[in-house]
């Protein structure tokens, strides 16, 4: 169960990062003015950071969750 939960958190974190960068923050088109430097959604960098934190928390979950095989032994 801990491997499944860890992999789920890693995949979800990377998906959040990709969506927040490519669809919410990255400007589309040829930059012709400084307005293209701003993200389309003002809080897109925060969403990206949440994705990074989720990936790092996956390691914490893996280490702190008990192993199912260790319970049986």
Judge whether 70 lies within some domain.
Answer: no
Q: Characterize 28-60 residue by residue with b for buried, 16 or more Cβ atoms within 10 angstroms of its Cβ, and e for exposed.
A: eeeeeeeeeeebeeeebeebbeebeebbeebee
Give the number of domains in the chain: 1
- pLDDT over 70 percentage in the chain: 93
Task: Report whether pLDDT(5) > 60.
Answer: yes
| Within a domain: 73 | no
pLDDT in tens, 33-50: 776 777 888 899 999 999
Question: Mean pLDDT, the chain, as a whole number?
Answer: 88
In a domain? residue 33: no
Whether 9 is in a domain gets the answer yes
23: in domain: yes
């Amino acid at each position: 169960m801990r491997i499944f939960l860890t992999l789920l958190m890693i995949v979800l974190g990377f998906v959040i990062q990709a969506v927040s960068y490519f669809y919410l923050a990255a400007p589309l088109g040829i930059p012709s003015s400084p307005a293209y430097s701003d993200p389309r959604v003002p809080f897109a960098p925060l969403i990206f950071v949440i994705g990074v934190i989720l990936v790092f928390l996956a390691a914490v979950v893996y280490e702190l969750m008990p192993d199912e095989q260790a319970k049986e032994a």
